[in-house]
Amino acid sequence: MDSVDASRRTFLKTTAAGVAATSLAVGAAKSQAADANSKLRIGFVGVGGRGFGAHVKSLSAIANEGANIELVAVCDVYEHNRNRAADYIEKENDGKVARYVDFREMYAKENLDAVSIGTPDHWHAIQAIEAMKGGMHVYCEKPMVKQVEEAIELVSVWKSSGKVFQVGVQGTSLPIWDAAREKIDAGLLGKVLMFQTEYFRNSDIGQWRYYKLSKEMTPKTIDWKRFLGVEEGLAEDQPFDRAVFAQWRRFWEFGSGMYTDLFVHRTTAMMKATGLRFPARVTGSGGLYLEYDGRQVPDVATVVAEFNEGCQGLVSSTMCASETPLQQLVRGHNGSIVFDRPDSSGEFTFVPERPQVTHISPTELPYEKQIMKAEKEAPQDQTKAHFENWITAIEENDPQSCNNPPDLGAAAIVLVNLGARSYREGKIYQFDDETMTVSEADGSWSKKWEKISKERGKPAHIKGWNAGDKGSTINNPDHQSLEGPWVDGKDPAG
């Protein structure tokens, strides 16, 4: 574990004073300006690439369509980003937009009801937790946080705050995941055994180097130490570097490469489709095999996650070969659901196992692929729909109606973050979802399943399963009556 990771794992202690001070100041501002404006006042923290292109533009469009929201302030360490976002909002939505370098100052002064966070990963936990403790609803770009310990703390704060929190995996606003979940819970696949997913990309210039560097990026236009988070222990002080600022996903202090930028998308969707949440055992592997451009994160990676429900998850990718991706699917004893259709179609494919195995009559379940469709239509603009879902949840004061709430976001973080840590540290990790603690793996995992088999136990099921033993048993052939140890020379078959 490096010094920065050690600091991050005690980040709440090092920032407790900042949280308390911010909360008091925000509370005072809200009490002084109560009912001054009936519209939901929204501020933005981090308005660079995604923060501007998705957060600012989506909420600006939603405001123009008549939503009861007002975009009042932006915060960014880079002067260009601040001005671009504020100018855009002022042009599109009218009104004056305040501009800040320090998010805590914005929280304290602007009487915000909600905040949209689009900063680099290493800042998410502090900014989101301080917002909720200051009485604000939160939309936070994925990944929800950078580390497992941060995810656990954030969920605790969220539950106690009563605030609405949306994690920015916009694909969770597609209806196919809920539709697949209904089929799975009803036993269509039988016992759920495995999911596999991917996020393949390729580029002739290397991943994340398409974020452009400009001469305008200098220590005069960028508050470098604030970007690093040196005072908060988020990163070590280091010389200014345009590539580190603009392409931070290439470096471990700020992001985790494909694990948190890409794998978290697919992992969250698979968790939503299957009902699985926290993994119990995680292994990560991969390496830097092609893109030797100064990056630290791998260009080939695979994570294998095991779940207490008796299911395995496989997440794999190459960042330098994209034409032959893995199929995204969920496998069960009676069949598989394959997510092989366009997102906008709301469709997926059911592939049954042969009736000689399932013993399901072809008249009940034809032995052929079936295209299935969600009842709800898929949104054409997933990101905008995701923000609309957040605003609706706030208006209805219903935190669990978000399509990607923090408890789901935390489960995804545990999987991808422990995968990254496993790769970096050469260890396999276990996660206990009762104590919410991480430990190094031992031989208990295999022994657990061997014990269940020896005792002829029953398969475990995902939360929400309501199909009894459907597709979750195997038959005993007649010759198995000859099975068993010969004790004192006696044939167990009699």
- pLDDT of 444 reads 96
Residue after which a domain boundary falls, among 348, 370, 403: 403
- Same domain? 352 vs 397: no
Whether 352 is covered by a domain: the verdict is yes
Q: What is the pLDDT of residues 78-129, one digit of tens each?
A: 999 999 999 999 999 999 999 999 999 999 999 999 999 999 999 999 999 9
Range of the domain at 131: 3-173+382-403
Does an H or E element contain 242, and which?
Answer: helix 242-246
Domain count, the chain: 2
Whether 409 is covered by a domain: the verdict is yes
* Of 407, 162, 390, 377, residue with least CA distance to 268: 407
**Torsion sign over Cα 14, 425, 265, 320:** positive
- Same domain? 368 vs 463: yes
**What is the Cα–Cα distance from 232 to 12, expressed in whole angstroms?**
9
**What is the Cα–Cα distance from 442 to 66, expressed in whole angstroms?**
56
Helices marked H in 304-405: 355-358, 382-395
- Same domain? 36 vs 90: yes
Whether 184 is covered by a domain: the verdict is yes
- pLDDT of 31 reads 39
- Same domain? 198 vs 293: yes
Whether 165 is covered by a domain: the verdict is yes
- Same domain? 183 vs 294: yes
pTM: 0.92
Q: What tokens were used for 346?
A: 């709301």
What is the per-residue DSSP string for 9-48? TTHHHHHHHHHHHHHHHHHHHHHHTTTS-SSEEEEEE--S
- Same domain? 186 vs 169: no
Whether 214 is covered by a domain: the verdict is no
| Alpha carbon separation from 307 to 79, 314, 430, 431, 463 (Å, rounded) | 46, 11, 10, 10, 12
- pLDDT of 26 reads 55
- Same domain? 337 vs 387: no
> Which residues, other chains included, contact 103 with Cβ-Cβ below 8 Å and sequence gap of 6+?
45, 75, 127, 130
Whether 149 is covered by a domain: the verdict is yes
Positions in the chain whose pLDDT score sits under 70: 1-37
Phi first, then psi, for residue 197 (nearest 5°) are -155, 175
- Same domain? 369 vs 437: yes
Whether 445 is covered by a domain: the verdict is yes
Q: Residue 107 is part of a domain; what is its CATH number?
A: 3.40.50.720
- Same domain? 163 vs 183: no
- Same domain? 188 vs 166: no
- Same domain? 166 vs 302: no
Whether 242 is covered by a domain: the verdict is no
- Same domain? 84 vs 140: yes
